[in-house]
Structure 1
Amino acid sequence: MAANKDTADDLSNEEDLEKALCVLAGSDPENCSYSRGYVKRQAVFACNTCTPNAAEPAGVCLACANKCHDGHDIFELYTKRNFRCDCGNSKFGEFKCQLIPAKDEENVRNHYNHNFNGCYCTCDRPYPDTDDQADDEMIQCVICEDWFHSRHLGCTTADPEELQEMVCETCMNKAPVLWTYAAHFAVSPVISVSHAEEEEEVDVSEPSQSEHEEPSTSAEPTKQEEVANRSSPCKRTHEEMAGGPAKAASKTAACRLKDLQAAGPERPRHGAVFWPYGWRAELCTCVSCKRIYVTAEVQFLMDQSDTILAYEEKGLDEPFGQHPLMALMSSMDRVQQLEVIYGYTELTTSITAFLQQCVAEGKTVTVEAVHQFFEELRARKRRRTNAGYQ
Structure 2
Amino acid sequence: MASNKEDADIDDAAINEEELEKALCVLAGSDPENCSYSRGYVKRQAVFACNTCTPSAAEPAGVCLACANKCHDGHDIFELYTKRNFRCDCGNGKFGEFNCQLIPAKDEENSRNHYNHNFSGCYCSCDRPYPDTDDQANDEMIQCIICEDWFHSRHLGCTAAEPEELQEMICEACMNKFPVLWTYAAHFAVAPVVSVSHPEEEVEVDVVEGAEQVEDSESSQSQDEQPSVSHTKQEEAANRSSPCKRTHEEMTGSPAKATAKTAVCRLKELQAAGQERPRQGAVFWPYSWRSELCTCTSCKRTYVAGEVQFLMDQTDTILAYEKKGLDEPFGQHPLMALTSSMNRVQQLEVIYGFNELTTSMTAFLDQCEAEGKMVTVEAVHEFFEELRARKRRRTNAGYQ
What is the TM-score of this pair, normalised by structure 1?
0.78
Report 1:61-80 matches (<5 A): 61-80=64-83
Contact 2:141 2:151 in 1 (8 A): yes
| Counterpart check, 1:299 vs 2:309 | yes
Write the letter of the residue equivalent to 2:99: K
| Counterpart check, 1:227 vs 2:227 | no
Q: Secondary structure at the match of 1:202?
A: strand
Write the letter of the residue equivalent to 2:168: E
1:266 to 276, 297, 304: 276
1:203 Cα offset (Å)? 1.2
**Shift in CA distance, 233/4, structure 1 to aligned 2, threshold 3 Å:** farther
1:5 Cα offset (Å)? 7.0
1:30 to 29, 33, 58: 33
Report 1:33-72 matches (<5 A): 33-54=36-57, 56-72=59-75
**Shift in CA distance, 66/267, structure 1 to aligned 2, threshold 3 Å:** same
Contact 2:251 2:287 in 1 (8 A): no
1:319 Cα offset (Å)? 2.1
State how far apart, in whole Å, the 2-side matches of 1:226 and 1:79 are: 26
2:139 to 132, 136, 159: 136
**Shift in CA distance, 223/330, structure 1 to aligned 2, threshold 3 Å:** farther
State how far apart, in whole Å, the 1-side matches of 2:330 and 2:78 are: 22
1:164 Cα offset (Å)? 2.0
Match of 1:17 in 2: 20
**Shift in CA distance, 327/19, structure 1 to aligned 2, threshold 3 Å:** farther
Report 1:369-384 matches (<5 A): none
1:123 to 121, 126, 146: 126
Contact 1:185 1:275 in 2 (8 A): yes
| Counterpart check, 1:310 vs 2:320 | yes
2:102 to 87, 99, 102: 99
1:52 Cα offset (Å)? 1.2
**Shift in CA distance, 85/117, structure 1 to aligned 2, threshold 3 Å:** same
**Shift in CA distance, 241/11, structure 1 to aligned 2, threshold 3 Å:** same
Contact 1:21 1:323 in 2 (8 A): no
Q: CA RMSD for the aligned pairs?
A: 3.1
Report 1:232-381 matches (<5 A): 232-234=238-240, 235-241=245-251, 243-319=253-329, 330-332=339-341
Unaligned residue ranges in structure 1 (runs of 5+): 342-390
Unaligned residue ranges in structure 2 (runs of 5+): 351-400
1:241 Cα offset (Å)? 4.5
Contact 2:145 2:169 in 1 (8 A): yes
**Shift in CA distance, 19/178, structure 1 to aligned 2, threshold 3 Å:** same
1:206 Cα offset (Å)? 3.8
The 10-residue stretch of structure 1 (53-62 or 96-105) with the greater mean CA deviation from structure 2: 53-62
State how far apart, in whole Å, the 1-side matches of 2:70 and 2:211 are: 59
**Shift in CA distance, 5/53, structure 1 to aligned 2, threshold 3 Å:** closer
Match of 1:362 in 2: none
Matched length: 336
1:194-214 C-alpha deviation (Å, 9 max, x unpaired)? 44564321211244659xx98
**Shift in CA distance, 337/286, structure 1 to aligned 2, threshold 3 Å:** closer
Match of 2:373 in 1: none
Report 1:81-230 matches (<5 A): 81-159=84-162, 162-195=165-198, 198-207=201-210, 209=212, 215-216=216-217, 217-219=219-221, 223-225=227-229, 227-229=231-233, 230=235
1:313 Cα offset (Å)? 0.6
Contact 1:228 1:276 in 2 (8 A): no
The 10-residue stretch of structure 1 (171-180 or 8-17) with the greater mean CA deviation from structure 2: 8-17
1:41-85 C-alpha deviation (Å, 9 max, x unpaired)? 000000011111445100000000011111111110000000000
1:106 Cα offset (Å)? 0.4
1:20-47 C-alpha deviation (Å, 9 max, x unpaired)? 1000000011110000000000000000
State how far apart, in whole Å, the 1-side matches of 2:108 and 2:122 are: 25
Contact 1:25 1:322 in 2 (8 A): no
1:327 Cα offset (Å)? 5.7
1:171 Cα offset (Å)? 0.6
State how far apart, in whole Å, the 2-side matches of 1:240 and 1:148 are: 25
Q: Once the two structures are aligned, what percentage of the paired residues are identical?
A: 77
Contact 2:230 2:286 in 1 (8 A): no
What is the TM-score of this pair, normalised by structure 2?
0.76
Contact 1:23 1:79 in 2 (8 A): yes
State how far apart, in whole Å, the 1-side matches of 2:34 and 2:215 are: 63
The 10-residue stretch of structure 1 (190-199 or 85-94) with the greater mean CA deviation from structure 2: 190-199
